[in-house]
Structure 1
Amino acid sequence: MPIIAYLNFNGMTEEAVHFYHQVFGTDTPQIQYFRDMPGHESDSQLENRVLHARLTVHGTPLYFSDSMPQNPVSHGDGITLAIVSDDAELLTSEYNKLAEGGRILMPLQDTFWSKAYGIVEDRYGIQWQINHEE
């Protein structure tokens, strides 16, 4: 079984999933909400929070969820998601879209190991390494 990244957000998962759907041109996201759980009682803090969402990016599944309001999450720089492709044009497009509203940590550039390598933190605090490989 593969190791799958599971990204958690503080009530912004639906927005983030739709953003990534646009960036990577994925199939329609699969999103389940707390309100859809069998036996769920109405709770205004949870109604619109995402229980589980899934996207497949470059053939790899990514999972998403909102945190519980009493247990907010914070994002750090200990983990980055790496996108590796032999299509430099596609990588450049994805890098630029991820950078919109985010922060460029390393400009996309030619390095001794890659024709296009860069690091960006997107508007949701998730860091991405973009790496071109033949």
Structure 2
Amino acid sequence: MTLTLTPFIQLDGKAEEAIRFYEQALEAEVVFKQTFGDAPADPERPMPDSLKGRVAHSVLKVGDAELFVADSETESSERPGSLVCVCISTADVARSQRLFESLSRGGRVDMPLQPTYFSPGFGVVTDKFGVVFQIFTKRD
């Protein structure tokens, strides 16, 4: 069973600038980029115009590794600069659920593991040491 850990840098409105910087500084290649505005509309949770241009997710290829860069969904006084978290990718929801439950013991669930438009099982948890993990299940 494959398990991948990827560094994920979240910024407060500066992701686009950071991506351009990493393209030069790290010779990174952008292999995927999506804004919040590119996501399917959710009538129960309308998106403010100020969020639509922010980077929801990007994947940069740096040598043989990947680096994820995105903007936070909302401006936050808790994270005035940036947040580095770890994205754990698995191939099945059951394994994602086990990892999510293990990491949440003594920690905090920030977003329950659930199906989303981009994953059959995605969630965010902060472990008891304050490290943020995104659990991402790949589509078949």
TM-score by length of 1: 0.50
Q: Bigger radius of gyration, 1 or 2? A: 1
More strand by share: 2
Compare relative contact order (CA 8 Å, sep 6+) and give the higher one, 1 or 2.
2
